[in-house]
Amino acid sequence: MILGIDEVGRGAWAGPLVVGAVVLGGAQIDGLTDSKKLTAKRRSILAKEIKEKATAIGLGWVSAETIDRIGLSEALKMATRLAVKDINVDYDEIIIDGTIRLLNDSRVTTMKQADLLVPSVSAASIIAKVARDYYMSSVIHKNYPQYGFDKHVGYGTAMHSGALITHGPIDFHRLSFTPVKKALGLEVIAPKKKDKVIATAGRKAEAAAATYLIDLGYEIIEQNWRTKMCEIDIVTKKDDAAYLVEVKYRKHATKGGGLSAITPVKLKQMKFAARIWQHWHDYRGDVRLSVISMSGSPPTVDIFLDSV
């Protein structure tokens, strides 16, 4: 009774990481091998047979956002634990493809090319790849056809890179991956010393907001942090949490004031900027999106929402 484990999607630019876990329990299935060496049609046929004959099957999914937040190594361990949690039968040995010990279990053996040599690991590889490929090429592609997920299922290709540059990222992209950052131009833009800061009404409002936050006990870490694709007005810290503050200013506090500008689209942009900021600083602590609405001349704070 061997529990075989293998992962799919480790190097993809987009989409989840998926770990498969299979106990064949003596089931005989011809043609089991590394899923990458099989055609899509053959994988689908074998996946159906594995589901019919295997003693137990488990899948562990970890999203792109979680990968960005905790790192790929921890994501692999998390997905493995989730896959094994689905296994509800006893087993004597655990064989994991590769050299990384992803489980703290005395029964674990790691093995290079286990997906070629051990039938249960081959089965795990096939089950995970078929599940992930279907999710990317059917479910995600249906909502985002412009990216071509039905062809590359989230891996790095010239087509995928071009789509990223043209359309920008979606929630399923791994913003912490270097090829994605390069394709999107996500490097931080530092202001040049010789550049003069234009004292616009918005800049005056941000300065007043920073003073307001300092008076409340917040520590200002950065102001006007930006990349080519996003910007954060103020970054503060208080009580071991980072607050990424969006400052919205309107001269007259009418029609909802500055808060009316925090639309669902804007909130999505703020979350995107937060993911990039977290990765850039390798920050694994608590992060909160905050909004300060201001009005008047000089600008004064109407509403401060420390978490939205």
CA distance 12 to 154: 5
Helices and strands per DSSP (H, E), number in the chain: 11, 10
Which of 119, 152, 185 corresponds to the end of one domain? Answer: 152
Same structural domain, 13 and 113:
yes
Per-residue model confidence (pLDDT) at position 144:
95
Residue 225 reports pLDDT greater than 60:
yes
Same structural domain, 60 and 148:
yes
Same structural domain, 143 and 261:
no
> Which pTM value belongs to this model?
0.70
Task: Tell me what the mean pLDDT of segment 6-14 comes to.
Answer: 96
Per-residue model confidence (pLDDT) at position 195:
47
Per-residue model confidence (pLDDT) at position 256:
54
**Nearest partner of 62 among 78, 47, 73, judged by Cα:** 78
**Does residue 71 form part of some domain?**
yes
Same structural domain, 9 and 121:
yes
Q: Which residue has the higher pLDDT, 199 or 201?
A: 201
Average pLDDT, the chain: 89
Which of 152, 176, 210 corresponds to the end of one domain? Answer: 152
Q: Which residue has the higher pLDDT, 259 or 142?
A: 142
Same structural domain, 135 and 235:
no
Share of the chain above pLDDT 90, in %: 65
Q: Which residue has the higher pLDDT, 29 or 202?
A: 29
Same structural domain, 10 and 136:
yes
Q: Over the stretch 121-156, which tens digit does the pLDDT of each residue have? A: 999 999 999 999 999 999 999 999 999 999 999 999
Vertex 203, ends 238 and 208: CA angle to 5°?
A: 50
**Does residue 98 form part of some domain?**
yes
Residue 182 reports pLDDT greater than 60:
yes
Q: Which residue has the higher pLDDT, 168 or 196?
A: 168
Same structural domain, 94 and 9:
yes
**Does residue 211 form part of some domain?**
yes
Same structural domain, 139 and 16:
yes
Residue 292 reports pLDDT greater than 90:
yes
Beta strands in 91-138 (DSSP E): 93-97, 108-111
How many other C-beta atoms can be found within 10 angstroms of the C-beta atom of residue 261?
14
Same structural domain, 61 and 126:
yes
Same structural domain, 88 and 222:
no
**Does residue 187 form part of some domain?**
no
Structural domain count, the chain: 2
222: containing domain = 201-305
Per-residue model confidence (pLDDT) at position 194:
46
Same structural domain, 147 and 26:
yes
Task: Tell me what the mean pLDDT of segment 179-198 comes to.
Answer: 62
Task: Tell me what the mean pLDDT of segment 8-29 comes to.
Answer: 96
User: What CATH number has the domain bearing residue 71?
Assistant: 3.30.420.10
**Does residue 181 form part of some domain?**
no
**Nearest partner of 225 among 200, 208, 250, 242, judged by Cα:** 242
Residue 108 reports pLDDT greater than 60:
yes
3-state secondary structure of 246: strand
**Does residue 140 form part of some domain?**
yes
Per-residue model confidence (pLDDT) at position 251:
79
